[in-house]
Amino acid sequence: MNDYLKEGGPWWQRGAIYQVYLRSFKDSQGNGIGDFPGMVSKLDYLAWLGVGAVWISPFYPSPMVDFGYDVADYFDVDPVFGTLEDFDELLRRAHDLSLRVILDFVPSHTSNQHPWFMESRSSHASAKHDWYIWRDPRRSGGHPNNWLSNFGGSAWTWDDQVSRYYMHSFLPEQPDLNWRNPEVRGAMLEVLRFWLDRGVDGFRIDAIVALMKDAQFRDDPPNPNYVPGKGHPRDSLLHHHSQNHPDVHAVLRNFRSVLDEYQDKINLGEVSYRLSLDDLVAYYGKDGGLDLPMNFKLITLPWEAVAVREFVDRYEQALPSFAWPNYVLGNHDQSRVASRTGSAQARVAALLLLTMRGTPIIYYGEELGMLDADIPTHMLQDPYGIRVPGQGRDPVRSPMQWNAEAHAGFSEVEPWLPVAANYQTVNVVTQHDEATSMLNLYRQLLKYRKESQALTMGSYRSLEGAPEDCFVYFREFENRRLVIALNFSAKGKVLRMEDQASGRLVLSTHLDREELVDLRSLHLRGHEACVVEL
């Protein structure tokens, strides 16, 4: 059994985390952009839904070139989202409802409008020059090395003011901080303390793999598998020196030690989508520095029973006993799960997410089956999508669909991004009243999960010999045993477990049956997944 659980486990192992992309959640000020008072007005909804914590995307003052991931001041709230008092009110009201609040911490880079960067670029001699990563051109001229930005093009931009290049893992407007400088570390740890003193429950740490780079600035090697013209241009190199440097763990341990000055705080981290399991596991615990390195594999794997089962088995085996799993189906950077798998399979994905071992992380609107919105080219907002066509993240950031009224009840005016076309049927009010809606499926799954020790604390084992296109597993705690069966196909399947007798089917993705079933011959309809108590 997991070591933590013997002692009851920390809060973040018991509830689901819900990601609020604040800009798109609920507008209260009538400017078409979501904000804190808007979010406060929806906290009752989140409590009703049954999640345990909210993670809020960055809300700090920012020129919004990367919609808040370009921070110009770590100690305040951008007026577009409200005020510090509004934030405090949100925190108080969330805590009153037993919802924990996790902030997005963006340590790897600031905005180029941050006063630190302005000072840094003012001159070589500035006290803050070394707070960012500055290099001279190569002797032969040109960029200091071949490192690439995640958002396309070189990771280096020339600055006329100081006549040097600075590095940016993302947009040129997001210069990378120099984490090898102890003053930077000290300043950023104060950021954590500022928000912890206000009472937040932890942080989601952004872009962890970009935090530390090779101290000698060696070129990244070419990627032998790269096919020019196919995929993302940054994949032409293997980012061995520019990303995921082992020194990152010491920085994460610094963060952790600040969190440990307080009680019961979580740090979860955005690590790379491409990490090997070994590298992912290395981010855990006292050495690795994180409570939950986010596991994005359900986003990147093909949605097939064999692939998913094979991954879950390997992940479970790779995790040391102290390490707690987590699963993510979507976020503000990736196509929505219902668009990737289709709406019927999105229900199967929901049942998987909420019945696996570990902490489930839900992206706003996933509980409605929201789809990627169509965004006409002239309305594109995301600079990444504008730089690298096809990579834009606007479709997954469309406004939350609250009701069938104008602008889906998100705002009284035209929202910053168009609402998805299906909002008249896919919205909270409509689905609230539909007994078998996706929303009610999420709610019932979250409720069942909370009450079931087999799900919150139990072990995991997959079944050998499940029917084709099916993934079947056991969750077990003391004498409570569950069988979870997922049908990834549109065709009906029959699960035959000769050594099992009957069980009680307590939840089906179709929300239309609760009954005794014979496990020697359990019929699953197309796109059906279910939970059976033994």
Q: Rounded distance, CA 201 to CA 11, Å?
A: 10
Contact flag: residue 69 with ligand NOJ (CB under 6 A): yes
Instruction: Choose which of 36, 60, 117, 170 interacts with ligand NOJ (CB under 6 A).
Output: 170
Instruction: Choose which of 35, 46, 50, 66 interacts with ligand NOJ (CB under 6 A).
Output: 66
Q: Which of 183, 190, 247, 261 is flagged as catalytic?
A: 261
Examine the residue annotation and report whether 464 is marked as an active-site residue of this protein. Answer: no
Three-class DSSP labels, 182-235 = HHHHHHHHHHHHHHHHHCCCEEEECCHHHCCCCCCCCCCCECCCCCCCCCCHHH
User: Total residues at the site for ligand NOJ (CB under 6 A)?
Assistant: 9
Q: Which residues, 376 to 415, sit near ligand NOJ by CB under 6 A? A: none
Which residue number, 211 or 517, has a Cβ lying nearer to ligand NOJ?
211
Sheet holding 100-105, edge to edge: 292-293, 266-269, 202-205, 100-105, 53-56, 17-20, 359-363, 326-328
CB 300 → ligand NOJ: shortest distance, Å? 15
Examine the residue annotation and report whether 247 is marked as an active-site residue of this protein. Answer: no
Three-class DSSP labels, 45-94 = HHHHHCCCEEEECCCCCCCCCCCCCCCCCCCCCCCCCCCHHHHHHHHHHH
CB 68 → ligand NOJ: shortest distance, Å? 9
Instruction: Choose which of 27, 78, 176, 270 interacts with ligand NOJ (CB under 6 A).
Output: 270
* Burial grade of 109 (CB within 10 A; 0-12, 13-18, 19 or more): buried
Q: Which residues, 323 to 382, sit near ligand NOJ by CB under 6 A? A: 332-333
Which residue number, 69 or 147, has a Cβ lying nearer to ligand NOJ?
69
Q: Rounded distance, CA 203 to CA 196, Å?
A: 9
Which residue number, 38 or 58, has a Cβ lying nearer to ligand NOJ?
58
CA angle in degrees (0–180, nearest 5) for 205-389-207? 10
CB 436 → ligand NOJ: shortest distance, Å? 33
CB 356 → ligand NOJ: shortest distance, Å? 22
DSSP 162-173: TTEEEE-SS-TT
Q: Which of 66, 70, 159, 206 is flagged as catalytic?
A: 206
Which residue number, 40 or 188, has a Cβ lying nearer to ligand NOJ?
188
The CA-to-CA distance between both ends of the chain, in Å, stands at 20
Angle of helix 248-259 relative to helix 182-198, nearest 10 degrees, comes to 30
Handedness of CA 408, 414, 420, 424 (dihedral sign): positive
The enclosing H or E element of 453 equals helix 453-456
One character per residue 455-494, x = contact with ligand NOJ (rule: CB under 6 A): ----------------------------------------
Give the distance, in angstroms, between the CA of residue 423 and the centroid of all CA atoms in the same chain.
Answer: 24
Which residue number, 150 or 487, has a Cβ lying nearer to ligand NOJ?
150
CB 385 → ligand NOJ: shortest distance, Å? 11
Angle of helix 84-96 relative to helix 182-198, nearest 10 degrees, comes to 60
Which residue number, 78 or 270, has a Cβ lying nearer to ligand NOJ?
270
Which residue number, 16 or 207, has a Cβ lying nearer to ligand NOJ?
207
Interface residues with ligand NOJ (CB under 6 A)? 66, 69, 106, 170, 206-207, 270, 332-333
* Catalytic (active-site) positions: 206, 261
